[in-house]
Homo-oligomer: A and B are copies of this chain.
Amino acid sequence: MTSQPVVSQPVHRSGALLDHLARRMRLRAESVLAPFRLRPRHLVALTVLRGRDGITQQALSITLEMDGTNIVGLLNELEAEDLIERRRSPEDRRRHLVALTEAGAKRLAEAECALAAVEKEVLGALDDSQREALHSLLLQAAMGSDVSCPLD
């Protein structure tokens, strides 16, 4: 690899587009999510938790790239709604292993279902297969670039 001295095509930047679309999505998502007593960041956290059960709070803080103290608050809110559970780690009883509860998984699924319309609107220019492709690319990017995710 790295053999070709190809200087580099203009290689399009996706940052601004990502920002823009995320914003549009979030604006609509907020009102849709409100009846579920969830805000966008809750959704993000729950989504992460669905993929990595029993993650430690530190790892979560790294994954979400949020300050540890704010993670606490976020989890408090979710725990108050019984959507997540904090279990003590048997190996190191200081650690909390955070996991989605059944209610949490259910709420997440319901919320996602309710977001179908939003996504349809924001990603309206994409057909189903394109949306699926987008999802898998986003997923791969999100999982792969996760510092706290050594082995998947």
Interface residues of A in 5-38 (CB under 8 A from B): 11-27, 29
Stretch from A68-76, A88-96, A129-137 that touches the partner: A129-137
Contact A12 B116 (CB under 8 A): no
Given A22-B19, A124-B144, A138-B44 contact (CB < 8 Å):
no
A103 within 8 A of B: no
Shortest Cβ gap from A61 to chain B (Å): 13
Contacts of A130 in B (CB 8 A): 137, 140
In the complex, the count of this chain's copies comes to 2
Given A123-B145, A125-B144, A145-B122, A139-B17 contact (CB < 8 Å):
yes
Residue of B nearest to A13 (CB): B112
With beta carbons under 8 angstroms apart, the residue of B18, B40, B121, B135 that contacts A25 is: B18
Shortest Cβ gap from A124 to chain B (Å): 5
A57 within 8 A of B: no
Q: Residues of A within 8 Å of B, CB-based: how many? A: 57
Contacts of A115 in B (CB 8 A): 13, 15
A47 within 8 A of B: yes
A141 within 8 A of B: yes
A82 within 8 A of B: no
Residue of B nearest to A22 (CB): B22
Shortest Cβ gap from A106 to chain B (Å): 14
Shortest Cβ gap from A147 to chain B (Å): 10
Contact A145 B121 (CB under 8 A): yes
Contacts of A132 in B (CB 8 A): 11-12
